[in-house]
Amino acid sequence: MNSKMNKTLTYIAAALFLFVLWDILALILHNPALPRPIPALIAFFQIFPQSLWRHLLISTYRVLVSLFIGLAIAVPLGLYLGREPKLDKWLSPQLYLTYPIPKIALLPVIFAIFKIGDLSKIILIVMIIFFQIIVTVRDAAQNIPANSVLSVLSLGATPKEIYRHVIIPGCLPEIFTAARISLGTAISILFFAESFATFDGLGYFIFEAWSRVNYPEMFAGIIAISLQGFILFLILDFLQRRFCPWLYT
């Protein structure tokens, strides 16, 4: 209980510190594009019940679906590649060749093929986070200690049971790390993808307020997108505590 209280207090202190920094920066720059925190917060609480909540919900839906699909494809593949050196030898060059291609540049192509809707945004995010997840998970699977595998093999485990009892739980902490990194990436890409030819989502909301030169409202959107990232991070932390209890002993 005490440590939970401490953690909450640390978060509150960190938030206050950021607001103070923001305020100092706003005072120094003295530019309407960077309003002070109080008017931005007032705008946030005013507009959130009116329309902002809907944009937040839509963006969160897109981020979560993309993250789920990305993990569902890349995690099993990464685990398998990590444990099958022959397949890895064959697929790694393709991975390394396609990894550095800036997939965001393919956005017009994706829009042209899949039209402007949720699907095209989700495909773009999945294409990008797929690589982050597969490489992290593959490396984790390769680093599972041989002793762990041998000891379970000596108990008569089948290859499927080795995955169930050794490879998957052994890689779970890195899967959570990959999910956390991909979450940040997904939010950034979605912001970009929602910035044109769309009428909903936080990216749209922020750019629309910007085009109206309504800076406090624009910052209300920025606060919403930050809160979205923070809450999703907390949920991932909670899930990691729930599914990897041995890390917290």
Partner 1 sequence: MLTLNNVSLAYTNGKASVNALVDIDFQIEEGKSYAIIGPSGCGKTSLIFLMMGLLHPTTGEILLYGKPLLKPHRDTALILQEYGLLPWKTVWENAALGLKLRKVAEEEINRILERVFEELELTECIDRYPTQLSGGQKQRVALARALSLRPKLLLMDEPLSALDALTRENLQEVILKLIKRYQMTSVLVTHSIEEAVYLGQKIVILSSQPGRICAQIDNPEQGTDGYRKKTSFYEKCSEVRSLLEVYSQ
Provide the binding-site residues for partner 1, judged by CB under 8 A: 145, 147-148, 150-157, 161, 165-166, 169-170, 172, 244-246, 249
At closest approach, how far in Å is the CB of 164 from partner 1? Answer: 10
At closest approach, how far in Å is the CB of 173 from partner 1? Answer: 9
Nearer to partner 1 (CB atom), residue 212 or residue 241: 241
**Residue 240 structure tokens:** 């990691």
Contact 65, 201 (CB under 8 A): no
Nearer to partner 1 (CB atom), residue 6 or residue 151: 151
Nearer to partner 1 (CB atom), residue 54 or residue 164: 164
At closest approach, how far in Å is the CB of 149 from partner 1? Answer: 9
At closest approach, how far in Å is the CB of 161 from partner 1? Answer: 6
Nearer to partner 1 (CB atom), residue 7 or residue 164: 164
